[in-house]
Amino acid sequence: MVCEDRTLSWAAVDERANRLATALLESGLRAGDRVVVCARNCLEWPEIVFGLAKAGLVLVPINTRLAVDEVAHALATVEPGAAIVHRDQSADLGEAFADPLLPALVIGGSELGRSYDTALTHGRATDPTPTDLRGADPRTLLFTSGTTGRPKAAIHSHEGMMLAALDHLVLTGGTHDDVCLAATPFFTAGGMMRTLNWTHLGQTMVVMPRFDEAAALDLVQRHQITTTIMVPTMLARVLDALTPDHDTSSLRLLGYGSAPVPTALAEEATERFGVPLFQQYGSTETGGLVTFLSPDHHRRALHGEDHLLTSCGVETPLAEIRIMAEPGVEAEAGALGEIAVRAPSVAHGYWGNPQAWEASTDDGWLLTGDVGRRDEEGLIYLVDRKNDMIVSGAFNVYPAEIERVLTSDPRVRLAAVIGVEDHDWGERPVAYVVPRQGADVDGLAEELRLLCRVQLAGYKQPREVHLRNDLPITAAGKILRRALREPTQVH
């Protein structure tokens, strides 16, 4: 483990995990109690992940970018027995953790609670794993991103998360010698799975406290990073910062996921880094990846089958996927439907909200809310979120269709399309575009409208195209469309 100027061996992480586990149990917590963790990326995250698991406690990661009211909602949902908070977050969110009945350990120390390091010195370096701990017991509660409403806490088991880690390792061909860059937040589903994936083979993990494209390229060169996974917005920023002076020759594999990637961006990343790419698709509820677009698929795409870059791949070894035309009816090949998933990594429910979970499942299958299709080769294509669909003049319009046309222009880095209320059509598509650095944007908005006029049906064409310096995103890198729908964003 490496983070800034601190380094720990995995043996040291294991000992610290035991000390944390015993300290928490001796403070009065019992197996099954929830412990919320609100911390930026730091060296302590893996020992927290394993320490809580060893104690039979349930880890609840908290998004560090939430507002105090949102954190309060999360705490009220899971009713934690303790909190672990980083000093940086205690400054902004301390009010949410100030309940005197909620004991807190503070990484880096603050007046909010007891010092995390002090707690570790009082813990014992012995494994406290309960003899009756079962694989089906809850290990982690992962909050959904809240892109469509109040976040819900998905319940993930020990067994499910370990199987998801093995699924990932089989597909990516990880080795003990890999040096992996942790660029995305630990509090996400990807961050939790990354900890298990990379620890399983004793790989070196280099942690970025916060994402910065220049720092990421520096770390790749300094630590000879061999692999990492980024979200599209991160990948775009790294490519903007990449120069011939950067040495990225140590990279052997680059992954991306969490949101659809513009085809042009995937092509540019492949060409400029000169390494195979893979794409993974999953969600908070699936726990890990459930589809995988392999390096071989990417190589085929660069040799003429460019349509493959619009796919999210095929099922992983442990996942099953169906495209549902309607409840109980599977769609024909090529037809659109809702993506349904069955896998051992899928959550067991939403904590304290069985009604929402029942509405999200059908006979053991998770209904993801994503619209997609499957081709004759078995590849799955993610079209869009059901909730993001625009209904214009009684026709269904999927934003991703328009976004793919917009990002095909070499001057466009990222694009997002939303539906806004329209008196005549019910809704009309409106596009927000982030140009590439240095691109000539004079007349770009109108030219993009003309491009859409040529390539899209009339009802799919955006009536407005707005140029922006960036797009609102969640901490996990997903575009926050509801922020774009706020009246102040339309200008």
pLDDT tens digit string along 272-292? 999 989 999 888 899 889 999
Q: Which pLDDT score is estimated for 483?
A: 82
- C-alpha closest to that of 371 among 281, 436, 457: 281
Enumerate the CATH 3.40.50.12780 domain ranges in the chain, comma separated: 161-385
Q: For residue 33, what is the DSSP state?
A: -
Q: In Å, how far from its chain's centre is CA 437? A: 25
Rounded to an integer, what distance in angstroms lies between the CA atom of residue 265 and that of residue 263? 5
| DSSP structure string for 168-229 | HHHHHT--TT-EEEE-S-TTSHHHHHHHHHHHHTT-EEEE-SS--HHHHHHHHHHHT--EEE
Burial of residue 130, with CB atoms counted within 10 A of its CB: 0-12 exposed, 13-18 middle, 19 or more buried: middle
The two structure tokens encoding residue 372: 């997609």
Burial of residue 72, with CB atoms counted within 10 A of its CB: 0-12 exposed, 13-18 middle, 19 or more buried: middle
Whole-number percent of the chain with pLDDT over 70: 95
Lowest model confidence (mean pLDDT) among 84-93, 353-362, 391-400, 411-420: 391-400
The two structure tokens encoding residue 110: 């603050």
Say whether 278 sits in a helix, a strand or coil.
strand
Rounded to an integer, what distance in angstroms lies between the CA atom of residue 181 and that of residue 227? 7
| 390-489 CATH pick, 3.80.30.20, 3.50.50.60, 3.30.300.30, 3.40.50.720 | 3.30.300.30
Work out the mean pLDDT of the chain and round it to a whole number: 90
> Quick one: CATH architecture of 2-133?
3-Layer(aba) Sandwich (3.40)
Say whether 154 sits in a helix, a strand or coil.
strand
Q: Which helix (H) or strand (E) holds 138?
A: strand 138-143
pLDDT tens-digit profile of 335-394?
Answer: 989 999 999 999 999 999 999 999 999 999 999 988 899 999 999 998 777 677 787 866
- Cβ neighbours of residue 294 closer than 8 Å, sequence gap 6 or more: 171, 278, 313
Q: Which pLDDT score is estimated for 488?
A: 40
Segment 134-157 shows an average pLDDT of 86
Enumerate the CATH 3.30.300.30 domain ranges in the chain, comma separated: 390-489
Rounded to an integer, what distance in angstroms lies between the CA atom of residue 26 and that of residue 21? 9
Rounded to an integer, what distance in angstroms lies between the CA atom of residue 411 and that of residue 6? 41
> Quick one: CATH architecture of 161-385?
3-Layer(aba) Sandwich (3.40)
- Cβ neighbours of residue 149 closer than 8 Å, sequence gap 6 or more: none
pLDDT tens-digit profile of 206-256?
Answer: 999 999 999 999 999 999 999 999 988 889 889 999 999 999 999 999 998
Rounded to an integer, what distance in angstroms lies between the CA atom of residue 367 and that of residue 338? 7
Rounded to an integer, what distance in angstroms lies between the CA atom of residue 473 and that of residue 421? 22
Count of C-beta atoms within a 10 Å radius of residue 49? 25
Burial of residue 300, with CB atoms counted within 10 A of its CB: 0-12 exposed, 13-18 middle, 19 or more buried: middle
Rounded to an integer, what distance in angstroms lies between the CA atom of residue 23 and that of residue 134? 22
Q: How confident is the model at residue 75 (pLDDT cuts 50, 70, 90)?
A: very high
Rounded to an integer, what distance in angstroms lies between the CA atom of residue 36 and that of residue 34? 6
Rounded to an integer, what distance in angstroms lies between the CA atom of residue 194 and that of residue 206? 12
Rounded to an integer, what distance in angstroms lies between the CA atom of residue 198 and that of residue 49? 13
